[in-house]
Amino acid sequence: MRYIKLIGAFFKVSAQAEMAYRVNFFLRLFYAFLNLLTGVLSLVVIFNQVEMIKGWDLPSAMGLLGVYLLLGALRGLFISPSLESVAGMDGEIWQGTFDFTLLRPVDKLFLVSFRHWRIFALVDLLIGLGVLGYAIHLMGAALTLGAVIHFIITLLCGVILLYAALLAFSALVFWNSGFLFTWVINDLFQLARYPLGLYPGWLRLILTWIIPVGLMTTIPAQALAGSLSTGMLILTVLFTIGAFLGATWLFRQGLQKYASASS
């Protein structure tokens, strides 16, 4: 399909642009390492004090960390670079060059979601997989096929939810072009580092049904540990579909707003 070929072209151009910036492959490697270190060390420090928090032990918490890193890597691979190029600091809305994007004979949502890639995120992806793998090793007990399937489904849901959340927040820029909405959701995503169960009830509700950062990592981690109920699985899938539709609707509304008010 044409759109798949287009993704290929975008990927290629982004790779070229990235390599044009010889700003330190090593610097980025350093930051990736720092990220990994703080993540793992945090868990070590916490579980040095307690064996279990609200039903989560070190292996399962590490599994969640792995999911968190994986999602972060996917976000950094194309979701963030593409959306921030429109809604972020020095983005097209900020600079007034969004008109060019609007004029392209390609679906705007597609363009805005897949246009820019940062291939270094592949390293982050590997690190995330590594942590996940280590967590599975720590969990020891056999991974059932059911758990793996549940895990893959919920992980996919997590990615789509993250995309929907970022898309929705990015769309808000059409109504208030000066505010960096994407930073809000990126900050809130940090709450996804730890299982939902740790947070007080009122926060848990917010992080599940309103800004579902909790769903993104806790559910897949539960699936991996085999403790996800089928009911919750179905609920998650339905919610993900709803969130995706809602976010895309919001974005298209934003486009309309832009085209009736831009001067």
Partner 1 sequence: MNHQGGWALIKNTWQSWLQHRGFFFLLAFGWMLPLLVYLFVWSAAAEGGTLNGLSQDTLASYYLVLILVNQLTYTTANWTVGDIIRYGQINRWLLQPMSPIYHALSSEIAGKVVFMLFSIPITGILALIIQPQFNLTWQKGLLFIPSLLLAWMLRFFWGYWLALMAFWATRADSLLALQDSLVFLIGGHLAPIKLLPDWMQLPARILPFRYMSAFPVEILTSQLSYDEIFLGLVIQAGWAFLSVMIYRLVWRHGVRHYEAVGG
Partner 2 sequence: MPESIIQVQDLTKIYQVPERSPGLGASLRGLIKPQYRQVKAVTQINFAVDLGEMVGLIGPNGAGKTTTLKMLSGLLYPTEGTAHVAGYTPWERQPAYLRRISMVMGNRSAMNWDIPPLDSFRVLSKIYDVPENAYKQTLDELIALLDMEALLKKPVRNLSLGERMKCELVAGLLYQPDILFLDEPTLGLDVAMQRRLRQFLKQYNQSHAVTVILTSHYMADVTALCPRVILIHHGQLLYDGALQSLAEKLAPFKLVKLQFNTVVDDFDGFIQQFQEIEHLPKENGHHTLRIPRGDVAQVTARLLQQLPIADLTVEDPPIEAVIDQIYEEGVL
Q: Which residues lie near partner 1 (CB under 8 A)?
A: 23-24, 27, 30-31, 34, 37-38, 41-42, 44-46, 48-50, 53-54, 178-180, 183-184, 186-188, 190-191, 193-194, 197-200, 202-203
Shortest spacing between CB 53 and partner 1, in angstroms: 5
The token pair at 37 is 């270190």
Query: In degrees, to the nearest 5, what angle opens at C-alpha 91 toward C-alphas 185 and 252?
Result: 70
Q: Which does 230 bind (CB under 5 to 8 A by kind): partner 2, partner 1, none?
A: none
Q: Which does 149 bind (CB under 5 to 8 A by kind): partner 1, partner 2, none?
A: none
The token pair at 224 is 């991996």
Closer to partner 1 by CB, 23 or 145: give it: 23
Q: 40-71 in b/e burial notation, b at 16+ Cβ within 10 A? A: eeebeeebeeeeebeebebbbbbbbbbbbbbb
Closer to partner 1 by CB, 148 or 180: give it: 180
Distance CA 175, CA 236 (A): 29
Distance CA 221, CA 242 (A): 22
Which span sits near partner 2 by CB under 8 A: 1-9, 66-74, 172-180, 216-224?
1-9
Shortest spacing between CB 140 and partner 1, in angstroms: 23
Closer to partner 1 by CB, 111 or 166: give it: 166
Q: Which does 136 bind (CB under 5 to 8 A by kind): partner 2, partner 1, none?
A: none
Residue 231: partners with Cβ closer than 8 Å, 6 or more residues away = none
Alpha-carbon dihedral angle through residues 237, 74, 219, 172, given to the nearest 10 degrees: -60
Shortest spacing between CB 145 and partner 2, in angstroms: 41
Distance CA 157, CA 244 (A): 10
Distance CA 44, CA 57 (A): 11
3-state secondary structure of 131: helix
Check residue 10 for interaction with partner 2 (CB under 8 A).
yes
3-state secondary structure of 31: helix
Q: Which of 36, 53, 102, 143 binds partner 2 (CB under 8 A)?
A: 102
Closer to partner 2 by CB, 6 or 126: give it: 6
Check residue 238 for interaction with partner 2 (CB under 8 A).
no
Closer to partner 2 by CB, 105 or 140: give it: 105
Closer to partner 2 by CB, 9 or 210: give it: 9
Beta-carbon-side half-sphere exposure of residue 18 (alpha carbons within 13 Å): 17
**Given the rule CB under 8 A, which residues bind partner 2?**
2, 5-6, 9-10, 13, 16-17, 20-21, 95-97, 99-100, 102-106, 256, 259-263
